[in-house]
């Protein structure tokens, strides 16, 4: 079923757990994320677009919404990293349950303006909205060995939330998109300061490759949504590569291998973030 409302994030924050935000690009990744949600009982946020639209077009949006709506699991359908109010409006019209407006490339005041407009659109549609303050480095769809971008200023964060009306705030505390050749070091003191001053749940982007202890420490400091993409992509690609030599031109078989690999990672991650979810019922362990 479609998971509506930001209550899932505030509840997660209260319990020092988090909801996974998993990125989907195609049929198989949508299926895998949905299967992981069903098997674990954990609510998940299926992130379909914005950059994924370059590959999947609007069909990706329809696919994600249909898969979430007729699932027994609680699945939010989310627009990730959109800078475009028309795109946000279109996704809300289709029924997305949340959107992320990314004004992190803009000066503070312009980021506030863009984010406030997006929040008004989202709330009018019954959806919740995530904004970003500070700038997350790296590419959303490829690993580029990025180094951390502009960190979120804890003094600005509370003002940003108040002036925009966002329901969740994505922070930059050393996190980057994609895998890196040297370990990412999160600034936990800064994260704690942001948490202390901000009335909304925080979102940790770029969680691929972070050790479980770092993810846990983030959950202790107000993070209630954790975005994972690269680990899913890596699993899909590795499984497809392995399946290729024996494929006998079996396209469905090769893609199914990728799907199973993504489901395994999503399954494990969802349970790591929300360990109190009901015990897994699938054969995946």
Residue 18 has what DSSP assignment?
-
Catalytic residue among 70, 80, 153, 187: 80
Q: CB count, 10 Å around CB of 219? A: 22
Q: One symbol per residue from 135 to 154: x for binding ligand 13P (CB under 6 A), - otherwise; what is it?
A: -----x--------------
- Residue 141 or residue 247: which is nearer to ligand 13P going by CB? 141
Query: Could you tell me the smallest distance in angstroms from the CB atom of residue 275 to ligand 13P?
Result: 20
80 as an active site residue: the answer is yes
Which one of 20, 24, 186, 207 is in contact with ligand 13P (CB under 6 A)?
A: 207
- Contacting ligand 13P (CB under 6 A), which of 115, 152, 230, 234? 230
Q: Which of 98, 208, 234, 269 binds ligand 13P (CB under 6 A)?
A: 208
- Contact partners, residue 39, CB within 8 Å, separation at least 6: 263, 267, 280, 281, 282, 284
Rg of the chain (C-alpha set): 18
For CA atoms 55, 96, 81, 193, give the dihedral sign: negative
Q: According to the binding rule CB under 6 A, does residue 164 interact with ligand 13P?
A: no
Interface stretch with ligand 13P, choices 26-34, 65-73, 154-162, 201-209 (CB under 6 A) = 201-209
Of residues 80, 102, 130, 132, which one binds ligand 13P by CB under 6 A? 80
**How far lies 218's CA from each of 18, 69, 169, 195, 201, in Å?**
10, 30, 14, 10, 11
When asked if residue 235 is in the footprint of ligand 13P (CB under 6 A), the reply is no
Stretch that binds ligand 13P, among 146-154, 199-207, 217-225, 257-265 (CB under 6 A): 199-207
Of the ranges 5-13, 108-116, 150-158, 225-233, which one interacts with ligand 13P (CB under 6 A)?
Answer: 225-233
173: how many CB neighbours lie within 10 A of its CB? 26
Contact call for residues 76 and 37 (beta carbons, < 8 A): no
Strand partners, 129: 99
| 62: three-class secondary structure by DSSP | helix
Contact 240, 171 (CB under 8 A): no
Catalytic residues: 80
Would you tell me which residues interact with ligand 13P (CB under 6 A)? 23, 80-81, 140, 177-178, 205-208, 227-230
């Amino acid at each position: 079923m479609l998971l509506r409302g930001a209550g899932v994030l505030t509840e997660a924050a209260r319990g020092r757990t988090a909801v996974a935000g998993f990125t989907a690009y195609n049929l198989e990744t949508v299926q895998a994320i949905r299967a992981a949600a069903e098997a674990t009982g954990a609510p998940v946020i299926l992130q379909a677009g914005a950059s994924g639209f370059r590959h999947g077009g609007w069909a990706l949006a329809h696919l994600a919404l249909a898969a979430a709506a007729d699932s027994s699991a609680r699945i939010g359908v989310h627009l990730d990293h959109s800078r475009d109010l028309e795109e946000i409006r279109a996704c809300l019209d289709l029924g997305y349950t949340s959107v992320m407006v990314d004004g992190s490339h803009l000066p503070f005041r312009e980021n506030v303006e863009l984010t406030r407009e997006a929040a008004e659109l989202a709330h009018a549609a019954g959806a919740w909205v995530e904004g970003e303050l500070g700038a997350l480095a790296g590419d959303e769809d490829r690993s580029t060995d990025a180094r951390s971008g502009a960190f979120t200023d804890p003094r600005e964060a509370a003002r940003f939330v108040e002036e925009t009306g966002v329901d969740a705030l994505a922070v930059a505390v050393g996190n980057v998109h994609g895998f890196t050749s040297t370990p990412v070091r999160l600034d936990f003191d800064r994260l704690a300061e942001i948490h202390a001053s901000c009335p909304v749940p925080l979102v940790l982007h770029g969680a691929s490759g972070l050790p479980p202890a770092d993810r846990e420490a983030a959950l202790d400091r107000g993070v209630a949504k954790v975005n994972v993409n690269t680990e899913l992509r890596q699993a899909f690609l590795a499984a497809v590569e392995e399946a290729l030599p024996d494929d006998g031109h079996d396209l469905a078989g090769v893609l199914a291998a990728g799907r199973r690999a993504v489901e395994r990672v999503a399954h494990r991650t969802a349970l790591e973030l929300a360990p109190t979810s009901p015990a897994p019922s699938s054969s995946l362990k």
